[in-house]
Amino acid sequence: MTNTVLSCDKVCKIFDDGASKVHVLNNIQLSVNAGETLAIVGASGSGKSTLLHLIGGLDRPTSGQIEIMGKPLATLNDRELSRLRNAHLGFVYQFHHLLPEFTVLENVCLPLLIRGEPIETVQKAATEILEQVGLGKRLSHKIGEISGGERQRTAIARALVTRPQCLLADEPTGNLDQHTAHHVFDLLLKLNRELGTSLIIVTHDLQLASRLSRTFELQDGILV
């Protein structure tokens, strides 16, 4: 039985600044099943990040429909969208976007705390996932005290601590050297296997993209 985590149907995004209209995404058709991994590649400014924001419910499409876990995003209000994002989606960005004033553990706890879970449960889950990404010994370090690779692994742990159905990663290795980039990619694939989380990874790196089950390219707003 195929289990669709995410689907896009004729999704268009037009940025209209009054003077001119920019068609960033045109008729995007996409479907992602549970546990599937896919890469989206494309030139800078091709709309990769925009697509990821639309899928993540951070932005709304001009037309077309996006469904996550069978729920059309267009029908959800702000509150329901936040809940869905918190429950089913994880985000990893090129810049780790961790909060420097908090420790590694606290950063990873945040999504579950926002959900309102008891602190003991939250800390247990966060510690577990941090051990899985190999940061079991870095729990009480501040973000400034760990390396770039470790920061990205912390970001991955934060994205996965809620056990989302789908992880959206926007150039997760873009800021890392090749060796570390492969290491982080290995980790993502390992977690994909262990947790069954679908991966949608936006990247420039075709070599890394080839390690995923499917690869799409965005050209002039069209997914090919």
Q: Measured from the CB atom, is 99 or 206 closer to other proteins?
A: 99
Min separation Cβ 217 and other proteins, Å:
22
Residues 6+ apart with CB under 8 A from 16: 22
Q: Measured from the CB atom, is 18 or 116 closer to other proteins?
A: 116
Residue 155 structure tokens: 């970001």
Is the Cβ–Cβ distance between 53 and 25 less than 8 Å?
no
Min separation Cβ 19 and other proteins, Å:
20
Residue 190 structure tokens: 């390992």
Q: Measured from the CB atom, is 50 or 192 closer to other proteins?
A: 50
Is the Cβ–Cβ distance between 170 and 48 less than 8 Å?
yes
Q: Measured from the CB atom, is 17 or 78 closer to other proteins?
A: 78
Q: Measured from the CB atom, is 85 or 138 closer to other proteins?
A: 85
Min separation Cβ 116 and other proteins, Å:
4
Min separation Cβ 95 and other proteins, Å:
4
Q: How big is the CA angle at 37 (ends 86 and 40), to the nearest 5 degrees?
A: 90
Residues in the chain: 224
Contact residues for other proteins (CB under 8 A)? Answer: 49, 53, 56, 58-59, 78-79, 82-83, 85-87, 91, 93-95, 97, 99, 101, 110-111, 113-119, 158-159, 162
Min separation Cβ 83 and other proteins, Å:
7
Q: How far apart are CA 93 and CA 91, in angstroms?
A: 7
Residue 160 structure tokens: 């996965």
3-class DSSP state for residue 10? strand
